[in-house]
Amino acid sequence: MELKLIKYDEHNLKSIDLGDGLKIDRNNISLIAGPCSVESKDQILEVAEFLNKLNIKIMRGGAFKPRTSPYSFQGLGFEGLKYLREAGDKYKLKIVSEIIDPRDVETAHDYVDIYQIGSRNMQNFSLLKEIGASDKPVLLKRGMNATISEWLMAAEYIALEGNDNIILCERGIRTFEDYTRNTLDLTAVAVAKELSRLPVIVDPSHGTGRRELVIPMSKTAAVLADGLIVEMHKNPDEAVSDGFQSLDFNQTKKLVDEIKKINDCIRY
Ligand code: PEP
Ligand code: MN
C-alpha cells in the first residue's frame, strides 16, 4: 500500500489548526461532544452552554442523518446547521457536522468548522473529492466494514485534492459480536498512528452502542488516541436518535474529569 500524501513521517506529524489557538494533534486529547442529532434550536443552545461550562471546545451535532430506515428522522438539514453555528458563535465552540451529499459541501462551508464524513460514506468518492477541494478540516470516520488500508486510502482521496487537514476517527467495525453495536477496534488506532501522520480519534458511542460502556472505553482509548467524539443529550431516553448510547449531562461531566486525569498523566 502506497500512501503518498499522508504517509508516516515523525518529523512532519499533522496538527489540525482550528483557529483561536485550538489544535487537534498528538500533543493532547481533544474532546468533542454533542447530540447525535440536532433536534431544536433550544436543545443546541442548552448543550452548547453546558459544554462551554465544562471547557469543551468542540461540539458535534448531526443535521443530515444517514439513517438505516428512510422512515427514521432524517435530520433538520441546513436549519440544523444554522442552529449549530449560532450556538457555536455564542459559546465559542467549533462545530463538527456530517455532510452526506457532495452538493451540500459548499453551502455547509460557512456553518461548520470541521466536515464529518460518516462511516456509511467513507467510500463515497465524490463526497471525498468535494470535501478534499475545500479548505476546512475533515473528520473521516472509518467505514463499519472497511479495512484499515481502505480507511487510509479514503483519506488519500481527500488529501489528493489538496486538503490534508484530516482527522481519522475509529468508530467500531462489524464483527460476529452482537452484545455491542460494533466492535471498537483500538488496534486500528495504533496502526493508523503508525502508518499515517494524521491525528486519530475514537468514537466510543458508535463503537459500543451502549451508554454504560462509553466512559470505560473513552478512558481506555484516551491512552492511545488523540481525541474522543462522544454523543450526549440532556434526556438521552428522549433523544430522536442514538439515545441508548448517549451520555447525560452528569455523565458527560464525569467523562471530562476522568479524561483530564488521563491527559495529565500521559501527556505531561
Ligand atoms: C454519527 O456520528 O452520528 C454517525 C452517524 O456516526 P457513524 O457515521 O460513525 O455511524
Ligand atoms: Mn449517532
Per-residue confidence of the chain (268 residues) as pLDDT tens digits?
Answer: 778 899 999 999 999 999 999 999 999 999 999 999 999 999 999 999 999 999 999 999 999 999 999 999 999 999 999 999 999 999 999 999 999 999 999 999 999 999 999 999 999 999 999 999 999 999 999 999 999 999 999 999 999 999 999 999 999 999 999 999 999 999 999 999 999 999 999 999 999 999 999 999 999 999 999 999 999 999 999 999 999 999 999 999 999 999 999 999 887 5
Residue 198 to residue 192: CA distance in whole angstroms: 8
* Ligand 1 centroid from CA 119, angstroms: 6
Give 217-265 as a 3 state SS string: HHHHHHCCCCEEEEEECCCHHHCCCCHHHCECHHHHHHHHHHHHHHHHH
Residue 150 to residue 168: CA distance in whole angstroms: 12
AA letter at 51? L
For cell 447530540, the residue is 35
Residue 3 to residue 232: CA distance in whole angstroms: 35
pLDDT of residue 128: 98
Q: Which of 95, 115, 116, 170 has most ligand 1 atoms within 8 Å of CB, for mutation?
A: 116
Residue 21 to residue 30: CA distance in whole angstroms: 13
* Ligand 1 centroid from CA 204, angstroms: 11
pLDDT of residue 266: 85
Counting from 1 in the atom list of ligand 1, the atom nearest the Cα of 65 is 5
CB contact at 8 A, 112 and 84: yes
Q: How far is CA 38 from CA 48, 103, 121, 202, 240, in A?
A: 12, 20, 20, 21, 9
Which positions ≥6 away from 27 have C-beta within 8 Å? 15, 267
Residue 92 to residue 59: CA distance in whole angstroms: 10
What is the architecture of the domain spanning 16-266? Alpha-Beta Barrel (3.20)
The pTM of the full predicted model, rounded to 2 decimals, is: 0.98
Q: Using CB atoms within 10 A of its CB, is residue 131 exposed (0-12), middle (13-18) or buried (19+)?
A: buried
Q: In the chain, where are the structural domains located?
A: 16-266
pLDDT of residue 231: 98
* Ligand 1 centroid from CA 268, angstroms: 32
Name every protein residue with a CB atom under 6 angstroms from any ligand 1 atom.
36, 62, 66, 118-120, 141, 171, 203, 206
Counting from 1 in the atom list of ligand 1, the atom nearest the Cα of 118 is 8
Q: How far is CA 209 from the centre of its chain?
A: 15
